[in-house]
């Protein structure tokens, strides 16, 4: 018969060793490989910096649509800004960084997206932010003309 003390020590040891193994697998980036080996498909988690870049882009996109609609901007500019806003995943937007002048606001947002594309961990996000920057530059040029 096993005593309670031996059972608790044995169980505690297994939990500590198992926990240390999981921590080691996370730190060495082998946890996903181990999960795949036993038939579990892990879901990727976005990098926290990428989540913040997306929230900043969403905040600017929302503010730009409101600004364009209130400034009676050309319909193609409003349509492009709406398309950019709607292409971003819903979330908690940060405080927008745009001003009151639409051309300047689009240019400022384009610079922020270009900077974000360079900071993004995800290649897909970097491509989206770079494309957004190019579209925002076109909107700024259209409004300025």
pTM: 0.71
Which of the residue ranges 9-13, 73-77, 128-132 would you say has the lowest mean pLDDT?
Answer: 9-13
**pLDDT exceeds 70 at position 12:** yes
CA dihedral 67, 73, 75, 80 (to 10 degrees): -50
Q: What is the pLDDT of residue 33?
A: 77
| DSSP at 44 | P
Contact, 14 vs 85, CB < 8 A? no
Q: What is the mean pLDDT of the chain?
A: 87
Radius of gyration of the chain (CA): 24
- Residues of the chain with pLDDT > 90: what percent? 57
Q: Which residues of 94-125 are buried (b: 16+ CB within 10 A; e: fewer)?
A: eebebeeebbebbbbbbebbbebbeebebeeb
**pLDDT one-digit tens code per residue, 67-112:** 999 988 999 999 999 999 999 988 887 777 777 899 999 999 999 9
CA–CA gap between residue 34 and residue 74 (Å, rounded)? 54
d(CA 135, CA 74): 14
Domain limits of the chain? 4-37, 48-144
Q: What is the pLDDT of residue 113?
A: 96
pLDDT one-digit tens code per residue, 25-46:
666 667 777 777 888 887 778 8
């Amino acid at each position: 018969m096993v005593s309670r003390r031996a059972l608790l020590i044995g169980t505690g040891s297994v939990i500590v060793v198992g926990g240390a193994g999981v921590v080691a697998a996370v730190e060495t980036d082998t946890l996903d490989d181990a999960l795949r080996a036993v038939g579990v498909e892990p879901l990727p988690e976005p990098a926290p910096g990428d989540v913040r870049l997306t929230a900043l882009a969403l905040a600017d996109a929302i503010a730009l649509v409101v600004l364009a609609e209130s400034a009676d901007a050309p319909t193609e500019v409003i349509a492009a800004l709406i398309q950019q806003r709607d292409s971003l995943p819903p979330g908690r937007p940060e405080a927008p960084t745009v001003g009151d002048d639409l051309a300047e606001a689009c240019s400022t947002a384009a610079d922020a997206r270009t900077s974000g594309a360079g900071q993004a961990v995800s290649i897909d996000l970097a491509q989206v932010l770079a494309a957004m920057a190019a579209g925002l530059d076109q909107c700024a040029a259209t409004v300025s003309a």
